[in-house]
Chains A and B, each alone.
Chain A
Amino acid sequence: MIKAILIFNNHGKPRLIRFYQYFAEDMQQQIIRETFHLVSKRDDNVCNFLEGGSLIGGSDYKLIYRHYATLYFVFCVDSSESELGILDLIQKMYEKVCLSLQVFVETLDKCFENVCELDLIFHMDKVHYILQEVVMGGMVLETNMNEIVAQVELQNRMEKSEGGLSAAPARAVSAVKNMNLPEIPRNINIGDINIKVPSLSPF
C-alpha cells in the first residue's frame, strides 16, 4: 500500500502532499522534513529506493523517489508494493501531470521535461484529481491513459465555460456534448474467462 505521496522542491518546500494513512498535522510535517533530508542528500547516480527512516512504519517502509529538475516526487510505500512498479508509476504520473498542466496553462510548446513548479501549485487541485485516478486510497489503479486525459480535458472545458464569457451556457453545453466521456474501453472481451459463480462459502 502507498502510505503517502510527497512532492517537494529542491529546498524541501512541499508542493503537493497526500497521505493515505492518518498522521497528525505536525507528524506530517516531520515526515516531510525527514523525507526531504533523506532524499536530498543522495546523488543522482544512486538507486531510487531508500529504506530506513523510522517515521512512517519502521522496517516495513520504503521511499521510492524520482527527481525532476526542481521537484522531488516521493512515494512512501510498504513492502507490499513493487519497487520498480512504483518507480514507473511516478514516471507515468509525472507524464500525465505534465500533459494536463500543459492543457491547463495552454502552452503546448512548453518543454515537456520541465514542469514549472509554480504551475503545479497553481493547479494543485487538478493535480490532486489526477492523483485520485492513479492512486486511490493507497492502491495503485491500472487505468488507461486516455481515460484520465479525457477527464482532464473535460474538467478543463467545464472550467473554461464556467470562466464565464457571457454566452457561457450554450457553449458549455456544446463543449460537454463533444467531450470525451470516460467510457473508452468498450467492447472489451475478457472473453473466455469462464468464472463460475458458485454458491459462495461464507468466508
Chain B
Amino acid sequence: MSDVVEKTLTALPSLLSLDSQSGAGKLSSTSKLGGLIRSITELTSKHEEEKLINRELAAIKEQVSSPNTSMRQMKEIMVRAIYCEMLGYEASFSYIHAIKLAQQGSAIEKRVGYLAVSLFLNESHDLLLLLVNTVLKDLQSTNLIEVCMALTVVSQLFPKDMIPAILPLVEEKLTNPKEIIRRKAVLALHKFYLIAPNQVQHIHSKFRKALCDKDPGVMTASLHIYLQLIKENPDSYKDLTGSFVAILRQVVGGKLPVDFNYHNVPAPWLQIQLLRILSLLGKDDQSTSELMYEVLDESLRRAEMNHNITYAILYECVKAIYTIYPKSELLEKAAKCIGNFVVSPKINLKYLGLKALTYVVQQDASLALQHQMTIIECLDHSDSIIKRETLEVLFRITNVKNVAVIVEKMLDFLKLCNDDYTIIDLVGKVAELAEKYSPNNEWFIQTMNVVFSLGGELMHPDIPNNFLRLLAQGFGSEEEEQQQLRVFAVDSYLTLLESDTAHLPQRFLQVISWALGEFSYLKDGLEPCKVTKLLAKLLDERNVTSESRSWILSAMAKLSAGPGAAALALQVSERYSSSLDTVLRQQALELLHLSQDPELHARVLPHGAAWDSFEVDSSLSFLDSFVSEALSQGAAPYKAPHQRQEELRQEKALSLEPYSISLPVSLSSCSITDRQSPTLLSMSSSLSGNSNELKAGSSTLKLEGVKRVWGKEGYLHQQDAVEEAAQVEEAATPALPLSPQQGGAESQQTHGDLTVVEQEKQKLASSLFVGLGSQNSTFLMGKSDSTSQQFRRKTRAADSTSSGVSERSSSSSHSSCSDFLHNNLLEDSQNSLNTQKIGVSNGTHEGPVTQSFQTANGIPEEDGEELGNPLPVIVDSDVASIGTETSKETSPFLDAGMVLVQPCSPQTELRDFVQPGSSGITQTSLRSQFPPELSQLPHSDISLLSSDHSLSLSACRAYRDDALLFVIILSNCSQSSTNGLSVQLDCKQLKVASLRGNALENLPAHSMSVCWYALLMEEPHTQVTVAGSVSYRAVPGHTQTLQFTDKLFLTDFIRPLTLSTEEYGKLWLSFSQDVRQNLKLIQGEGDPLRATLSALKEQLQLHIVDIIGSEGIVACRLLPDSPCLLHCRIHGGSLAVWLRSPLLSLPDCLLYYCQKTLEEC
C-alpha cells in the first residue's frame, strides 16, 4: 500500500478519538432524521407539511448557530437540511455552515460538507469563493480521500475566476500514482474546459497523456474532453482517429479487465462514446472514414447478444455508419439493424428504430418503404410517443403526392394532443409542409385554418407572419393564381366569422382581420360594409385581446372607404376614442379621420399596392423642424438607449468605489489604477467577484429587454441554418442505389384473403408512400430542390424573414399597414448588411471586373477614397507604381517604431512553399511584386495557399495601423494566359473594410498580380479561418475555381494603444469588469517585470504605458478600436495581471496569447 494511505491510517486514530461522545449522539441523530421523515409521511396535507418543515428549519437554524454544536452533529444537521431543500424549502442559512463543515470537519464530515455545498450552491454563488481555500488545502493533503473529495467538488462546481489558483495543483495530480486521483483530475480539467476554455488551452498535451494512460478509467475520463474538443473542431484531431479506432478495437475485443463488463458487454458506455467520437471525425471525410470501417463492422458483429445495452451500442454504430463517408457494405448491415429495431416487439427498441429511420430516411428512402406496414401500425400505436416519432418519419418523406394524407394524419394527432410542446412542434411542421408541397390553393387555406385554430396562442409567431407574407407578396406563381388564393382566403374567413367566433384563437383573429382588410376588395360583389359589420361584431366580443382589437381596427380603417362602412366606422371610432388603451384610442381616431376623408384614404391606403412601392423616410427628416424648435426652447437632446445605458452604468461603476476603500495598497506608487486590483489574492478576488456580480445584474436586465424581441427569432434562425445544413449534407451524400423495393405494397396484395382492416391499411400505405418508389427516388432525393416547392416566396422575402417579423409580433401599437412598411424598411437595412460579403463577378463575365462590394454601416471610413466607389486597382509586374499616397499615410505609423516579429517558423513556410507548380518562385521574387505601399509595411512571410496546374496562390499578412491587410498573390505558372480572373474572400467573423487591387482580368503566362483585403476583427476570436476562392478560365468557356483557406490569429489584429498615464487611468475606471490571471515571469538579467513586459510588447504589439516599481500598465487595442488595458504587478514569483476591456471576451483571448508567448520565452 502506498505511503499516502499509510499516512492516512496513522492519522485516523487520533482523528477518531477526537469525537469521543459517539454512540449516543449518533443514535439520536439518526432518529431525528428518521423521525422527520416518518412524521412527514404520516401527514396528509401540503399545509401540514409546510408547518412541520418550517418548525424543523427553525430548530436546525438554532442548532447550527449554537457554538456547542459539534462537527458530528453538524453533519447530521446538514443531511436534514439537504432533505428540506429537496422538498423545496429554502435553508439558505445553512449554506455557510456547509462550507464550514467542509473546511473543519474530519474526513467523513467533510464529505457531507462537500456534498451539501455541491447541492446547495451554484457556480455563481458568492459563498463559493469561501470554498476555494478549503479546496486548496485538501488538494495538498496527503490523505487520498480528502484529495478525492476536493477533486470531486471541483469537477462539480467551481468559480470561474478562481481557476488559476488551483490549476497547477490539479495539473500536478495528473501524474499521481493512484488512478482514481488521475481520473478525477482529468474530470476536473474537463469542467475547467467547459467553463473557461482559454484557461486550459496550454495543457492540451496533458490531455493526450491522459488518453494514453495505462488505466482505462483515466482514458475514459479523457474521452469526455476529447468529445467536447472534437465537437467544436473536428479538423484538429483527425490525427487521433487511429488511436480511437485502436482503443475501440481493444475494448470490443475484450481486452479490458472484466470489472468493466456490464452484462458481459465490455465497457458499453465507453464504446458508445468512442462511436460518437468516430462519427464526428469521419463526417464528410473519406480518408478518415476508411480507417474506421473495419472496427465499425466488428462492433456490429460483436454486438449481437440480446441485452438492452448491446442494442444501445448497435444503435450508436448505425448512426455512426450513416454519418461518416458511406460504404455500401456497412450501410446494408446497418439497414438490416434498423429493420430489426423497427419490427422488434420491445417498445423501446421500436422507438429507437423509428428514430434511426428518421435519421436515415432522407438518404435512403427505400428503408421507409421496406417498413411501411410497421410504420402504419405505429401510427395507431397506443403510446403517443411512438405515434409522434412515426409522424416525424412521415414528415421526412413527405412529397407533393402524399402531403395531403400525411398532413391529415398529423392534424388528427394534433386534435387529440394536449401537450403544449408537441403542439408547437407539430403545428410548425404542418405549416412547413403545407407551404412547401401544397397541392392546391383551397387545400392550403383550409389546412392553414386548422393550423391556426389548433395552434392557438402557442404556435411560433413566424407561422402567421410567414403566411401573411405569402398572401401579401405572392410566391412567384402567376398573378391570377395568387389572386385566386386571396379570394379563397377571404371566402373561408367570411364563413368562419359568420359562425361562432368565440373559440377562435387571437392569432387567428389577427390573421383573419388583416387578410380581410387587405383583400376583401378582390371578391366581386362583396360590400365592404358587410365585412366591417362582421369585424365590428368581433370587436365587441369580450375575450378579444386589445392586441387583436388593434388589428381589427386597422382592418376597418382599410375598409372604411365604402359608403355604408363609413357610418359604421364612425360608430366604432366613437366608442374606442375614449378607450383607456392609448393604442386603441389612437387607432380609433385614425379610423375616424380616414373614414371621413376618402381622398386621404385613397392616398394612404391604396388598394393592392405593391409592397415594395412604399417609400419611407427612415431618417424622419420631416420632423427636423419640430426637433429644432424643441431644442431651441430648451429641450434636452435625444439620447439613444444604449447611450443612456452607458451613462447609467458609469454611474454604477462610480458607486462601487466605497467598497474598495479599505484596501491597503500602493495607491501612492500607482495612482492611476483602480483600487480593486492590486491587493491580496483572496480579497481582490472576492471584490472583483462582486463587481462582476453587479455588472452582470445590470447587463442581464438590459439583455432581457433585448431578448424578448429577438430571442425567438434567433432561435428560429438557427434552426433554419441547421435544416439548411442537413439539406446540403443530403445533397452532398451521393444517392444510394435504392433497392427495388417499391413493390412493397403490391407484393403484400398478392395475399388474396386480406381482412378488411388490413385492406384499409394497404390503402393507407399506398397513399402514404406514394412517390417513394424507385422510379421516384430521384424526386425524393431532390426534395429540398426548389422546383418541387409549391409556394416559393420571392427571394427578398425569403432572405429576410428574420428581421421584420418578430418586430411586428411584438409591436402591437402599429397598425398592420405601417408594420409592413416597417418591415420593408428593416428588410432593406438587413439586405444591405447581408451584402457585406464581397461579391466578385463570376468568371463568365466579360469586360472589366465589377465589384459588387458594399460597405456595411458603421465601418470607420479610413479608406475614404475607396469606399463607395471601389476602383479596381491593378497591380501587375509592369504596373506597380499606383497608390503612393497611401504609403505616405502609413509611414508615420512605421516611424512610431513598431517592430513586428511574427511567430511563424520559416522552415515550414518554405517547405510548404516549394511545391510543384510554384518551383522557381522564391519569397524574394514574390516580395518584389509588392507595390510600394505594401512593401513598406511590416508583414509576415509569404506562404503558399493553394495551387493547381496553372495558377498558384500565395498570401501574406501586412500590418497596417488601421487594419490587417490580407495580401493574395496570384501567379500564373502555366504556358498560356488565364482570363476572367476573380477573387472572392469570405470570413463571417471578420469585417472586411476594403479591398484594393484586384486580380487582372487577364493574367499572362508567368506573371503575377497582387490584391489585398483590409480586415478588421470586431468580435475577439483567438483565431479565425478565412476561406475564399479564385475563379478563372484557362480554356475559353471553361471556368475553374481554386479554393483556399488560411488562418488568422488574434495577434494579427492587435495594435499598440498609445496613451498617457492619465488617459489610461480614466479609461481603466470606465470599464467595470476585470479578468485576473497569473503569468510566468521571465527571469533574466535586470528587472524581471521589464523583461516580461518587453517580451510581451515585442510579440504581441502592446504599448507599455508606464512602469512604476513592481507594477506596470500596458495598453493595446483590437482593430478597429477596442481597447484592452493590462495592469501587471509582481506577486510572489509570478506576474499578476488584471485586464479590462469593453469586449468581454477580449481579455480571455489576449491572455491566451500572453501565456503562449511567455511559455515560449
Interface residues of A (CB under 8 A from B): 13-14, 16-18, 22, 25-26, 28-29, 32, 43, 45-54, 58-59, 80, 82-85, 87-89, 91-92, 118, 121-122, 124-125, 128-129, 132, 136-137, 139-147, 155, 158-159, 161-165, 168-170, 172-173, 176-177, 181-185, 188-195, 197-198, 200-203
- CB contacts (< 8 Å) of B388 on chain A: these are 51
Contacts of A182 in B (CB 8 A): 180
0/1 interface trace, chain B 1-44, chain A, CB 8 Å (1 if under): 10001001100111011011011001000100110010001000
Whether, in the assembled complex, B329 has its beta carbon less than 8 Å from a beta carbon of chain A, the answer is no
- Apart from A136-B187, A142-B270, list 18 A-B contacts with CB within 8 A: A22-B123, A48-B348, A82-B272, A84-B308, A137-B190, A141-B187, A144-B259, A169-B13, A172-B12, A181-B5, A183-B179, A193-B250, A194-B243, A195-B211, A195-B212, A195-B240, A198-B239, A203-B1023
Nearest B residue to A29, CB-CB: B88
Residues of A within 8 A of B111 (CB): 125, 129
**Contact across chains for A88 and B12 when beta carbons are under 8 A apart:** no
Residue of B nearest to A48 (CB): B348
Closest to A159 in B: B108
Asked if B964 is at the interface of the complex by the 8 Å CB criterion, the answer is no
Quick one: closest A residue to B384, CB to CB? A46
What's the minimum C-beta distance from A74 to chain B, rounded to whole angstroms? 14
Q: List 14 A-B contacts (CB under 8 A).
A: A25-B88, A32-B88, A47-B385, A85-B316, A121-B83, A125-B79, A128-B115, A165-B23, A172-B12, A184-B259, A197-B208, A200-B204, A202-B1156, A203-B1023
Q: Is the CB of A141 within 8 A of B220?
A: yes
A81 to B37, alpha carbons, bound, how many Å?
Answer: 34
When the two chains form their complex, are residues B214 and A168 in contact, meaning their CB atoms are under 8 A apart?
no
- Pair A191/B255 contact, Cβ less than 8 Å: yes
In the bound complex, residues from chain B placing their C-beta under 8 Å from that of A168 are 16-17, 22
With a cutoff of 8 Å between Cβ atoms, the chain A residues found around residue B112 in the complex are 125
The reply to whether B382 and A46 contact each other, CB–CB distance below 8 Å, is: yes
Cβ-defined contact, A54 with B420, below 8 A = yes
How many residues on chain B are close to A (CB under 8 Å)? 109
CA of A163 to CA of B29, assembled, Å: 12
Taking a contact as CB atoms under 8 Å apart, the answer to whether B191 and A189 are in contact is: no
Contact present for A176 and B23 (CB under 8 Å): no
Answer yes or no: B838 CB below 8 A from chain A CBs. no
Please give the distance in Å from A77's CB to the nearest CB on chain B.
Answer: 13
Q: Across the interface, which residues of A come within 8 angstroms of B259, CB to CB?
A: 144-147, 184-185
Residue of A nearest to B219 (CB): A190
| Distance from A177 Cβ to chain B, minimum over Cβ atoms (Å) | 6
Would you call A84 and B208 a contact (CB within 8 A)?
no
Complex interface: chain B residues within 8 A of A201 (CB): 236
Q: Is A125 a contact of B115 with CB atoms below 8 Å? A: yes
| Binary contact track B177-213/A, C-beta < 8 Å → 1, others 0 | 0111000000100110010000001001100110111
Task: Report the minimal beta-carbon distance from B314 to chain A, rounded to whole angstroms.
Answer: 9
- For the complex, give the distance between the alpha carbons of A195 and B724 in Å: 37
Q: Tell me whether B421 and A52 are in contact (CB under 8 A).
A: yes
Q: Is B233 an interface residue (CB 8 A)?
A: yes
A129/B115 in contact, CB under 8 A? yes
Residues of B within 8 A of A200 (CB): 204-205, 208
Answer yes or no: B386 CB below 8 A from chain A CBs: yes
Shortest CB distance A99–B (Å): 14
Q: Is the CB of A49 within 8 A of B214?
A: no
Contact A164 B187 (CB under 8 A): no
Give the top 4 A-B pairs by smallest Cβ distance, nearest first: A164-B22, A84-B312, A144-B259, A169-B13
Q: Are B33 and A122 in contact (CB under 8 A)?
A: yes
Question: Are A164 and B82 neighbours in the complex by a CB distance under 8 Å?
Answer: no
Tell me the complex Cα distance, A146–B217, Å. Answer: 13
Check B386–A122 contact: CB distance below 8 A.
Answer: no
Q: Are B419 and A197 in contact (CB under 8 A)?
A: no
**Given the complex, which residues of A lie within 8 Å of B255, measured CB to CB?**
189-191
A88 touches B236 (CB 8 A): no
Q: Which residues of B contact A (CB under 8 A)?
A: 1, 5, 8-9, 12-14, 16-17, 19-20, 22-23, 26, 30, 33-34, 37, 41, 79, 82-83, 85-88, 90, 107-108, 111-112, 115, 119, 122-124, 144, 152, 155-156, 178-180, 187, 190-191, 194, 201, 204-205, 208-209, 211-217, 219-221, 224, 233, 236, 239-240, 243, 246-247, 250, 255-257, 259-260, 262, 267-270, 272-273, 276, 308-309, 311-312, 315-316, 347-348, 350-352, 355, 382-383, 385-386, 388, 419-422, 425, 1022-1023, 1156
Which of B201, B208, B309 counts the most A-chain CB atoms under 10 A from its CB? B309
The reply to whether A88 and B308 form a contact with Cβ atoms under 8 Å apart is yes
Residue pair A190, B214 in contact (C-beta under 8 Å): yes
Instruction: Give the docked Cα–Cα distance between A168 and B270 (Å).
Output: 41
User: Within the assembled complex, what's the spacing in Å between the Cα atoms of A12 and B609?
Assistant: 60
Complex Cα–Cα for A16 and B1092 (A): 52
Asked if residues A188 and B216 are in contact (CB atoms below 8 Å), the reply is yes
Task: Check if B269 sits within 8 Å of A89, measured CB to CB.
Answer: yes
**B257 to chain A: which residues have CB within 8 Å?**
144, 184-185, 188
B201 and A125 form a contact (CB under 8 A):
no
- Using known A-B contacts A54-B421, A183-B180, determine if residue A144 contacts B217 with beta carbons closer than 8 Å: yes
Distance in angstroms between the alpha carbons of A29 and B86 in the assembled complex: 8
CA distance in complex: A124, B33 (Å) = 11
Taking CB as reference atom, which chain B residue is nearest A169?
A: B13
- Chain A nearest CB from B123 CB (Å) reads 6
Q: B1: which A residues are within 8 A, CB to CB? A: 181
Q: Does the CB pair B26–A137 fall under 8 Å?
A: no
When distances are taken between beta carbons in the complex, the residues of chain A under 8 Å from B213 are 190
Kindly state the separation between the CA atoms of A197 and B216 in the bound complex, as whole angstroms: 18
Q: Please determine whether B385 and A164 come into contact, CB atoms closer than 8 angstroms.
A: no
A85 to B247, CA, bound (A): 19
Q: Which of B16, B312, B350 contacts A82 (CB 8 A)?
A: B312
> Which B residues touch A49, using CB under 8 A?
348, 351, 385
Instruction: Tell me, in angstroms, the Cα distance from A136 to B267 when the chains sit together.
Output: 17
Q: State whether B347 touches A45 (Cβ < 8 A).
A: yes
B316 to chain A, nearest CB (A): 6
What is the chain B residue whose CB lies nearest that of A189?
Answer: B214
Q: Which residue of A lies closest to B383 (CB)?
A: A46
Contact A88:B312 (CB < 8 A) given known A142-B260, A168-B22: yes
A14: chain B residues at CB < 8 Å are 86-88
Whether B316 pairs with A82 at a CB distance below 8 angstroms is yes
| Distance (whole angstroms) from the CB of A5 to the closest CB of chain B | 12
Residue of B at shortest CB range from A23? B122
Cβ A191 vs Cβ B82 within 8 A: no
Question: Which residues on A sit within 8 Å (CB–CB) of B386?
Answer: 46-47
Contacts of B194 in A (CB 8 A): 137
- Tell me if B90 and A132 are in contact (CB < 8 A): no
CA distance A154 to B935 in the complex (A): 72
Residue of A nearest to B76 (CB): A125
Contact yes or no, B216 A185, CB < 8 A: yes
A172 to B192, CA, bound (A): 37
Residues of A within 8 A of B208 (CB): 195, 197, 200
Task: Give bound CA distance, A118 to B746, whole Å.
Answer: 59
